[in-house]
Amino acid sequence: MQYYFKKKFFKAIFLFHKFFTKTSRPLKGFYGIFLTPTYSDKTFEYYFKGTYGTRLSDWLANVEEELIFLDIGANQGLYSVLAGKNPAIKKVFSFEPNDAIVPLLLNNLKVNKIQSHEVIPAAISDQTGSLSLNTVEGHSGKSSLRTENNADEASVSSKTIQTINHVALNKRIPAQALNGIKIDVEGHEEVVLQELVKCDFFKQTQWIFCEIDEQWVNPENIYRLLKKEGFTRFERIGSHATHYDVLMCR
């Protein structure tokens, strides 16, 4: 109930700023961090109003064991910032391939005074090179490497983005550090995980928080892959029949 009313409060604040103040200065939203306003983008609106719930934000706030955090599909940086606020999380690696979004991500890290971070402007895929990213006008969170897109075709455009595979990843992420990972890549999750398990640092991965949409991904393939790597706990989060998050732990 408290979550419901808090969301309603920040929805009203969002609408006030969007239609009246139209301020460009960073605003503190539902999650208690400053965000650079992009009123026309649903992702900013959802960040500000708390639409993404509290399971991952609470998880990041309660991490006690020292580790690094990989935010794969960081977008404007909600979870990169929340992770960076926890002193136990020693460094944040934010993967965001959309060059239109990277400046917002960097600014949000800056205004929240996140010191130990590295933004990697690339997507993780099975090759180091380039791919075509489908972007949806007004909702940066729907950007996808899938060849098909369910959004209205009139609102979809394509841009070339950089990709890196496990070989390049191994050069960027320290293998000796414990780590936690968030993956939100709109249907590319299985490909990302297949690359991650080839990395030296993956042996030190303690948990993965992953978005699942069964229109695009078969979760059983992911569970089988990770069980082979020693993951034993798979907690489904969310009540939607086919679109939900899963917290996966060793």
pLDDT confidence bin for 148, thresholds 50/70/90: low
Predicted local distance difference test score (pLDDT) of residue 102: 98
Q: Indicate if the pLDDT at residue 154 is higher than 60.
A: no
And the tokens for 95? 């993967």
SS (HEC) of the chain? CHHHHHHHHHHHHHHHHHHHHCCCCCEECCCCCEECCCCCCHHHHHHHHCCCCCHHHHHHHCCCCCEEEEEECCCCCHHHHHHHCCCCEEEEEEECCCCCCHHHHHHHHHHCCCCCEEEECCEECCCCEEEEEEEECCCHHHCECCCCCCCCHHHEEEEEEEEECHHHHHHHCCCCCCEEEEECCCCCHHHHHHHHCCCHHHHHEEEEEEEEECCCCCHHHHHHHHHCCCCCEEEEECCCCCEEEEEEEC
Q: In what order do the strands lie in the sheet with 205-213?
A: 117-120, 89-95, 67-72, 179-183, 205-213, 243-249, 233-237
Percent with pLDDT over 90 in the chain: 94
- Dist CA 106 CA 98 (whole Å): 12
Which candidate, 103, 105, 61, 106, places its Cα nearest to that of 84? 61
Q: Are 108 and 77 in contact (CB under 8 A)?
A: yes
Q: What average pLDDT score do residues 112-140 get?
A: 96
pLDDT confidence bin for 229, thresholds 50/70/90: very high
Predicted local distance difference test score (pLDDT) of residue 20: 97
Predicted local distance difference test score (pLDDT) of residue 121: 98
In whole numbers, what is the pLDDT of the chain averaged over residues?
Answer: 95
pLDDT confidence bin for 155, thresholds 50/70/90: confident
Predicted local distance difference test score (pLDDT) of residue 153: 52
Q: What average pLDDT score do residues 102-114 get?
A: 98
Q: Are 69 and 18 in contact (CB under 8 A)?
A: no
Predicted local distance difference test score (pLDDT) of residue 156: 87
- Dist CA 172 CA 85 (whole Å): 22
Q: 229 φ, ψ to 5°?
A: -95, 10
pLDDT tens across 19-67, in order?
A: 999 999 999 999 999 999 999 999 999 999 999 999 999 999 999 999 9
Predicted local distance difference test score (pLDDT) of residue 182: 98
pLDDT tens across 180-213, in order?
A: 999 999 999 999 999 999 999 999 999 999 999 9
